[in-house]
Amino acid sequence: MQKLIFTNEVARELSGLIAAANPHGVYVLADSNTVMLVWPYLAADCPALSDARLITVPAGDINKNLDSLSHIWSELQKLGANRHSMLINVGGGMITDIGGFAASTFKRGMRFINVPTTLLGAVDASVGGKTGINFGGLKNEIGAFREAEAVVISTAMFSSLPDSEMYSGYAEMIKHGLLDGEEALTALLAYNPCVHDFNCMLELLESSVGVKRRVVAEDPTEKGLRKSLNLGHTAGHAFESLAMEKGAPVPHGYAVAWGIVVELVLSHMHKGFSTALLRKIAGYVRDHYGVPSITCDDYPRLLELMHHDKKNLDDRINFTMLEAPGVVAIDSIAGEEDIKVALDIFRDLMSM
């Protein structure tokens, strides 16, 4: 079982982990951002990294590809890594995905530790063991399931992130709060992630990652419960794709935040989710994420995109709905007319 460590003393924790693992050589993977913004501080504070060899790839999901993977393999080989070495991945989800896959396959597998430097990476990509690269125009087409030896999560890493990055990751935390229960949700809605209160955020994050960890542990092969993690994503992916098509892309987490509101409206209609709570969440989303630029003319395309996302055969679409925070109904069906009504109410709630 991988170690999940929540700390604001990354260097100290890393030193302990490296000493305990006693690897034949330590290698660090960073991208063109984290190599400047994070690595110098980490290297200065962590004596265990003083002999580490650095490997870098260009930042951005577009570089999570075979060229970068091949480069990482080549560098590991040239720098003398072996199957008893250790790779430390310092970056967002792009770096932990590609670095985890490179380590899983170099010499048929060396150990790796993830140090996520984005909120989204910490909350989403650090549990579940999904590693990989994009290939042939498809996301995460090639990869492996392999957990890191340890994930070291520090909220101090996020202090230099732009607000939009913080909100984007926070949308996934709100989703986890909704799956967890009212108490967790209330704590999240009372906080603004851009305040950068390291300790408060660390506590919220630990509880949030715990939700995902429990769900994945109960359903590792994505047969049932794990579908609950899809909350907000059926409508969210449609918003994300539509924005892309219109040439005005939005961050993933923003689309998810809007998708959550739409799917809570459906939950209200089909499962009696509370109006008061729906209004409260919609208010938080409107205040921090703004509103998507859609009109009712966009509905047909949004419905098409939702259909495509789920590969459904008739006019009904599969959602994860909630009766209440913590009370999940996976595989809940809504027809197209219901979804159009939900989109109307969504636009109303967001005061469009």
Q: Residues in the site for its own copies, rule: CB under 8 A?
A: 66, 70, 73-74, 77-78, 101, 104-109, 130, 132, 135-136, 138, 140-145
Q: Which is nearer to its own copies, 136 or 247 (CB)?
A: 136
Give the Cα separation of 12 and 178 in Å (integer).
34
Q: Which is nearer to its own copies, 141 or 245 (CB)?
A: 141
Min. distance of Cβ 322 from its own copies in angstroms? 28
Q: Residue 153, Cβ neighbours under 10 Å: how many? A: 25
Both tokens of 166, joined, read: 């913080």
With vertex at residue 347, the alpha carbon angle to CA 342 and CA 351, rounded to the nearest 5 degrees, is: 145
Give the Cα separation of 271 and 274 in Å (integer).
9
Give the Cα separation of 209 and 205 in Å (integer).
6
Both tokens of 104, joined, read: 């899983």
Min. distance of Cβ 182 from its own copies in angstroms? 35
Q: Which is nearer to its own copies, 128 or 177 (CB)?
A: 128
With vertex at residue 14, the alpha carbon angle to CA 11 and CA 15, rounded to the nearest 5 degrees, is: 85
Q: Which is nearer to its own copies, 102 or 349 (CB)?
A: 102
Min. distance of Cβ 307 from its own copies in angstroms? 18
Q: Which is nearer to its own copies, 142 or 291 (CB)?
A: 142
- Amino acid residing at 47: P
The β-bridge relationship of strands 3-6 and 86-91 is unpaired
Residue 90 · residue 28 · CB < 8 Å: yes
Buried b (16+ CB within 10 A) or exposed e, 250-280: bbbbbbbbbbbbbbbbbbbbbbebbeebbee
Give the Cα separation of 83 and 276 in Å (integer).
55
Q: Which is nearer to its own copies, 141 or 315 (CB)?
A: 141
What is the 8-class DSSP label of residue 108?
A: T
Min. distance of Cβ 76 from its own copies in angstroms? 9
Min. distance of Cβ 67 from its own copies in angstroms? 11
Q: Which is nearer to its own copies, 12 or 84 (CB)?
A: 84
Min. distance of Cβ 162 from its own copies in angstroms? 31
Q: Which is nearer to its own copies, 59 or 87 (CB)?
A: 87
Q: Residue 73, Cβ neighbours under 10 Å: how many? A: 17
Min. distance of Cβ 343 from its own copies in angstroms? 30
Min. distance of Cβ 21 from its own copies in angstroms? 16
CA dihedral 302, 304, 309, 314 (to 10 degrees): 130
